[in-house]
Structure 1
Amino acid sequence: MNIVIVGDGKVGAALTQQLSKEGHDITVIDNNAEVLTNSMELYDIMAVQGNGASLTVQKEANVGSSDLVIAATSADEINLLCCILAKKLGAPHTIARVRNPEYAEQLIFLKEELGLSMTINPERTSAREIFRILQFPTFIKRDSFAGGKVEIVELRISDKSKLHGKPLSELYETVKVQVLVCAVERGGEVTIPTGAFVLQAGDKIYVTAATNLLADLIKNLGIIPQKTKSVIIVGGSRIAIYLAIMLLHAGIRVKIVERDRATCLKLADLLPKAQIICGDGSQQTLLHSEGLEEVDAIVTLTNIDEENLIISMYAHHLGVPKAITKVNRLEYVGVFKDMGIDSVISPKSLTANEIVRYVRAMENTTGSSALTLHRIANDQVEALEFLVTGCTRHLGESLAEISLKKGILVACISRPGKLIIPKGSDHFQKGDHIIVVTTADRVIGDINDIFED
């Protein structure tokens, strides 16, 4: 596909990396010549320097002949104008990154008139992800499928865990609920395991389970369930606003620490039920004075990755039960996870995943494209949700009779009124939602891509 990306910032660069890796012809538009040169050196792409909302620049980038235009600059208005112009030039699909909460309702009303195929809000998506983790803080990460009925949750196995030393074939005897370990991360290496795989302390496991069984899973593992009652948020960003609204609505006490006075006044006006602290959230004395040791969770949302990580590490050192850290650069996340910083949120990665799923759906011709796409295990594994249609091969055949490609695991079958952790005797039928797990180096755009034949 021919894809034009307007804006070579954090989100644009993440999209360029992923979509070029998947074999698409990418053209990037940006005002910054140095940034464009760097992208051309890293990836096999075309680049056009200039304003993406300019008719001349869009014509130079052959926007009218493209299959998709993604506007991901830092300005919502420019993104919307880019998409309107691209649609007028003949681009059939347009996606705009829109961050301002005030535009949300207007976009629902004007989406068709503006010619938008999709809008995405990285901040709201990130806030929703953080809120979901805080609902079950025992889990490092949670990814949702089948309309929220199924989740893949990430857990670390301690040396006192009931799972330490257990083969996966004995999993049900230990946890007493139907779940499936679909991936294991050990020493930086990720495995899609078989029943003979033996779990060890230090492993991070990715467990597929029905959402309504998560509390039972925690209980049966002997883990004392944590309940989030109070949260400190460091950094008064848009993510903080979205997150605070969700937390306050759930009855959770919220303190936001922000160093800019004007931002604090705005936060106080928007969030009258939250406590707004004007100060430097990286200062230990301030954090102590605001009761850091007594809160259930801290969420670091400043614009500086290093600051977020250091504050989270300090909170972990003090014994704060949960620390969630926003980062933009993912290169060093593995190092910090070894220091206890497990729950890491990357807005650009969340945004890129949503758009990549849409792109794969565009390529699909059978109507069996991925409904949901999540990357897990440090982006080394993809978990995808598909709808089984009349075009899906091997309907009614038992899984034992079907040959799947190497490194592919069917983790769950969601059927109306029923959730199935699959065995060899189970089968696919029309209307099923299935969750497939595979290594991220394999691109799966259609459900039929999972079969060996």
Structure 2
Amino acid sequence: MRIIIAGAGDVGFHLAKLLSYEEQDIILIDRDAETLRQASSSIDVGTIKGNSTSYRVLEEADVKNADLLIAVTSSEETNLTTAIIGKHLGAKRTIARIENLEYLLDKEKLDLKELGIDEIISPESLAAREIKRLLKEVALTDTFDFDQGKLSLIGVIIDSSSKLMDHSLIELAKINPSHNFVTVAILRDNKTIIPHGDNRFREGDHAYFIAEPEGVDAVLELSGKEKKEIKNIMILGGSKVGYHAAKRLSRKFNVKLIERDKEKCFELADQLRNVMVINGDGRDVELLEEESIHEMDAFIAVTGNSETNIISCLVAKNHGVQKTVALVENIDYIHLSQNIGVDTMINKKLIAANFIFRYIRQGEVISLTSIHGVDAEILEFIVKAGSKITQREIKNLQFPKGAIIGGVVRNGEGHTTMGDFQFRPKDRAVVLCRPECIHQVEEFFK
């Protein structure tokens, strides 16, 4: 598959990195020679220096034979123009990153496909959607449902109150004889562990499980967490992410939004009728206390300053808020969340890159999600008749060590899978694997 990526910034680079594991033919276009040099020294990609709206540059990239052209530069105009020109020069599919959300709202009216743009993405809108997903349950750091909750991916922090602490996975099987959840990953000291029988849980571990509906409650009970619904949310920052998060969340929760800019506050108050908009500096602890931060179930910091977001989340934690989410610009910060005390850090560029990666793989994988800070992907496959995965029990499959099968949805019911399980056609399999193992895993499902 020949893929051209216009823009070698955070979105383009991360996307190229994900795709490079699969030996795709990737060309990166960017105006900055140093950015391209750093990219080519880190990952196996071809590079072209120049403006992606140039006919000459796109022809040099052999756009007429491109299966996909992805325009993710920092300029919306460049992205839209690149996609339109690239399509007319022969690219099979085009994706453009946008900032103006009117394009998303009026997709059908504008008929962007007629212009040559097959798909548009907004990192801000995707980040707001991700925030809503993260707020499903206070006690869980992460949650993602498969087949409408028949199986779920969940994350918890292992602390001193957890019954899991110091137990190995083999011992866990005795503690939980119903086997209604499976440990699929452990994030420890910023390193991802794909666990096996002898691995033990330690205090401070960020543990991830694939669980049946009853297994979610079992994980919460064993990890010493109480199930609690979210009712009250405070959002710091009236950015595009803050606006869209408030709009989505106010349909279900009580939302307060704090913004420094007085004029922007009036605009937000007009646009967000179900949200209490407060003019003030969210770094002011007295203001947060006056606005009853101690009564909040969740605190979302999405200002344009990463450090402000992190520190304000720590202040919220110190005032008893159970769930905190900080928006950060530096992707490297994501791995620090478990060490600093913020429940989840998100990066809108990383979310956008993962969304595009999922879009590219739609034909082979029915769903794909990433876990914040974890160097692994969660994939869901529909099992085909005659595929390698159906030929033996899991324990005899020689499945890649960098991957683990977490569960299956069969005949409308979710089940975790042990070594003696054998897949059948039409099963929906849930697999966690490192990016470099995705291609190997796919071989079992072809």
Q: TM-score, length-normalised on structure 1?
A: 0.87
Number of the residue aligned with 1:282:
283
Q: CA deviation at 1:31?
A: 4.5
Moved over 6 A (4+): none
SS at match of 2:331: coil
Is the counterpart of residue 291 in structure 1 residue 286 in structure 2?
Answer: no
Number of the residue aligned with 2:137:
136
1:22-421 to 2 correspondences below 5 Å? 22-32=22-32, 35-36=35-36, 38-40=38-40, 43=43, 44-50=45-51, 52-108=52-108, 110=111, 112-171=113-172, 174=175, 178-211=180-213, 213-215=215-217, 217-219=219-221, 221-250=223-252, 252-360=253-361, 369-376=364-371, 378-390=373-385, 392-395=387-390, 397-421=392-416
Q: Which of the residues 405, 412, 426 maps onto 1:431?
A: 426
SS at match of 2:138: coil
In structure 2, runs of 5+ residues without a counterpart are: none
Q: CA deviation at 1:145?
A: 3.1
Q: In the alignment, residue 100 of structure 1 is paired with which amino acid?
A: N
Q: In the alignment, residue 218 of structure 1 is paired with which amino acid?
A: L
Contact 2:182 2:209 (8 Å CA) reproduced:
yes
CA pair 103-391 structure 1, distance change in 2 beyond 3 A: farther
User: How far apart, CA to CA, are the structure 1 residues paired with 2:399 and 2:99?
Assistant: 41
Q: In the alignment, residue 442 of structure 1 is paired with which amino acid?
A: C
SS at match of 2:278: strand
User: How far apart, CA to CA, are the structure 2 residues paired with 1:198 and 1:355?
Assistant: 35
SS at match of 1:370: coil
User: How far apart, CA to CA, are the structure 1 residues paired with 2:195 and 2:65?
Assistant: 44
Q: CA deviation at 1:215?
A: 4.3
User: How far apart, CA to CA, are the structure 1 residues paired with 2:261 and 2:299?
Assistant: 19
User: How far apart, CA to CA, are the structure 1 residues paired with 2:251 and 2:214?
Assistant: 21
User: How far apart, CA to CA, are the structure 2 residues paired with 1:17 and 1:183?
Assistant: 21
Q: In the alignment, residue 90 of structure 1 is paired with which amino acid?
A: G
Q: CA deviation at 1:182?
A: 1.0
Q: CA deviation at 1:421?
A: 0.7
In structure 1, runs of 5+ residues without a counterpart are: 362-366
Q: CA deviation at 1:178?
A: 0.4
Q: In the alignment, residue 15 of structure 1 is paired with which amino acid?
A: L
Q: CA deviation at 1:325?
A: 0.7
Contact 2:309 2:328 (8 Å CA) reproduced:
yes
Q: TM-score, length-normalised on structure 2?
A: 0.88
User: How far apart, CA to CA, are the structure 2 residues paired with 1:46 and 1:382?
Assistant: 26
Number of the residue aligned with 2:15:
15
1:12-34 Cα offsets, whole Å, 9 max, x none, are: 23223433454444333345556
Q: CA deviation at 1:119?
A: 3.1
1:98-154 Cα offsets, whole Å, 9 max, x none, are: 343322243256354344443333222222221122220211122343455322111
User: How far apart, CA to CA, are the structure 1 residues paired with 2:61 and 2:100?
Assistant: 28
User: How far apart, CA to CA, are the structure 1 residues paired with 2:210 and 2:389?
Assistant: 23
User: How far apart, CA to CA, are the structure 2 residues paired with 1:139 and 1:255?
Assistant: 22
User: How far apart, CA to CA, are the structure 2 residues paired with 1:187 and 1:450?
Assistant: 33
User: How far apart, CA to CA, are the structure 1 residues paired with 2:267 and 2:440?
Assistant: 44
Contact 1:5 1:26 (8 Å CA) reproduced:
yes
CA RMSD, Structure 1 to Structure 2 (Å): 2.8
Contact 2:151 2:210 (8 Å CA) reproduced:
yes
Q: Once structures 1 and 2 are overlaid, which stretch shifts more, 149-158 or 442-451? A: 442-451
- The number of residues matched between the two structures is 443
Q: Once structures 1 and 2 are overlaid, which stretch shifts more, 440-449 or 429-438? A: 440-449
User: How far apart, CA to CA, are the structure 1 residues paired with 2:402 and 2:60?
Assistant: 42
Q: Once structures 1 and 2 are overlaid, which stretch shifts more, 303-312 or 38-47? A: 38-47
Q: Once structures 1 and 2 are overlaid, which stretch shifts more, 417-426 or 104-113? A: 104-113
Q: In the alignment, residue 210 of structure 1 is paired with which amino acid?
A: E
Q: In the alignment, residue 119 of structure 1 is paired with which amino acid?
A: I
Q: CA deviation at 1:189?
A: 3.6
Contact 1:177 1:216 (8 Å CA) reproduced:
no
User: How far apart, CA to CA, are the structure 2 residues paired with 1:95 and 1:147?
Assistant: 28
Q: Once structures 1 and 2 are overlaid, which stretch shifts more, 225-234 or 386-395? A: 386-395
Number of the residue aligned with 1:4:
4
1:155-211 Cα offsets, whole Å, 9 max, x none, are: 111112121233323435545660101112333443222234332322221110135
Contact 2:138 2:297 (8 Å CA) reproduced:
no
